[in-house]
Structure 1
């Protein structure tokens, strides 16, 4: 009888220990499903720009309605954006101009005066809180520093200012100012198109 009691006690302890091990053990697959993943997708991305005319520096806004990039994911927004490659068709430029002439002038006279006019391409480098777009335009690749703001619901805003001289685009700018000469005159009668262009990119990092 004593031996039977000891046997039952050992069996009970063994069952309790087994249940405890099962409860505390997590498989790698289970841990992976609970990890948060950030994914950058082009359909959730907008690329807007503001150029300037007249000596009063009046803003003229526009956007590229199409942006393409290789789908990339990461455990953090920084990881998802770092190394992200993108391309923007120049043909998708849109300024919502009521006269329907501005878009054609920019595409033909500005981008048409460059080399490799079909696409703007580049790669984002985002590490240690610093973000840079290595942007290729007019056959020139140059760094464009970007300020990053990450808001609620995974929304990311990137802002920067291009100086067109960095992409050897001043001749293209002069060609644009020539066809827009009167339109770019201010109250002082001076026609001017500025070298700097403000860029704002917004994207939403979704779960994979």
Structure 2
């Protein structure tokens, strides 16, 4: 009986090796001539795609998220309101989609769609315990988001000492079992 349970458990692991529990999507935008980072994330990230697979690479490939930009969370309510009104809504950017399209050891390519433009973004990642941590960089100009950048720079001119950078670090933390 004991051998049967062990065999069943091992077969279950082979069939359902890895399963996504949650995904946190974050960013670091930069302000001031000293390039001070401002961290943020998005609440209520919707996971799309296959959430379980036999390997970590298979679990990641094709996995995606849908993000409502009104759910931005920088830890500062006033800043969040400005990010929504003076950045995302300046160009009617209500959603961001991202999908992992390829995975290799330590690197992946994520297709990000923002402002009706889809680009492939290389990211580095590592697996620690039951987490995948990934990061990469986007240029807001590549997504035709410079009017939004100019708008947030104007709204926060004094706070940013006249400088809001167009490169943004993006990434995610995926928890799995």
TM-fit CA distance, 1:33: 2.4
- Is residue 77 from structure 1 mapped to residue 56 from structure 2 by the alignment? yes
Which 5+ residue runs of structure 2 have no aligned equivalent? Answer: 1-7
Describe the shift of the 1:47–1:122 C-alpha distance in structure 2 as closer, same or farther (beyond 3 A). closer
CA distance in 2, matches of 1:52, 1:34: 43
Q: Contact 1:79–1:126 (CA<8 Å) still a contact in 2? A: no
1:145 counterpart residue number: 122
CA distance in 2, matches of 1:59, 1:31: 45
CA distance in 2, matches of 1:69, 1:184: 33
1:31-59 Cα distance to aligned partner (Å, 9 max, x none): 73241511123xx2211211111111111
Q: For residue 87 of structure 2, give the secondary structure of its aligned residue in structure 1.
A: helix
TM-fit CA distance, 1:60: 1.1
- Is residue 181 from structure 1 mapped to residue 161 from structure 2 by the alignment? no
Q: Contact 1:77–1:205 (CA<8 Å) still a contact in 2? A: no
CA distance in 2, matches of 1:192, 1:30: 56
Per the normalisation by structure 2, the TM-score is 0.87
Matches within 5 A, 1:79-118: 79-97=58-76, 100-115=77-92, 117-118=93-94
Q: For residue 81 of structure 2, give the secondary structure of its aligned residue in structure 1.
A: helix
CA RMSD, 1 decimal: 1.9
1:92-130 Cα distance to aligned partner (Å, 9 max, x none): 101112xx3211111011101124x22111211233333
Give 1:172's match in structure 2, choosing from 142, 148, 159. Answer: 148
Q: For residue 145 of structure 1, give the secondary structure of its aligned residue in structure 2.
A: strand
CA distance in 2, matches of 1:34, 1:95: 38
- Is residue 160 from structure 1 mapped to residue 136 from structure 2 by the alignment? yes
1:197 counterpart residue number: 168
Structure with bigger strand share is: 2
Structure of larger gyration radius: 1
CA distance in 2, matches of 1:162, 1:108: 21
Structure with bigger helix share is: 1
1:40 counterpart residue number: 20
Per the normalisation by structure 1, the TM-score is 0.75
Which 5+ residue runs of structure 1 have no aligned equivalent? Answer: 1-28, 186-190
CA distance in 2, matches of 1:34, 1:113: 48
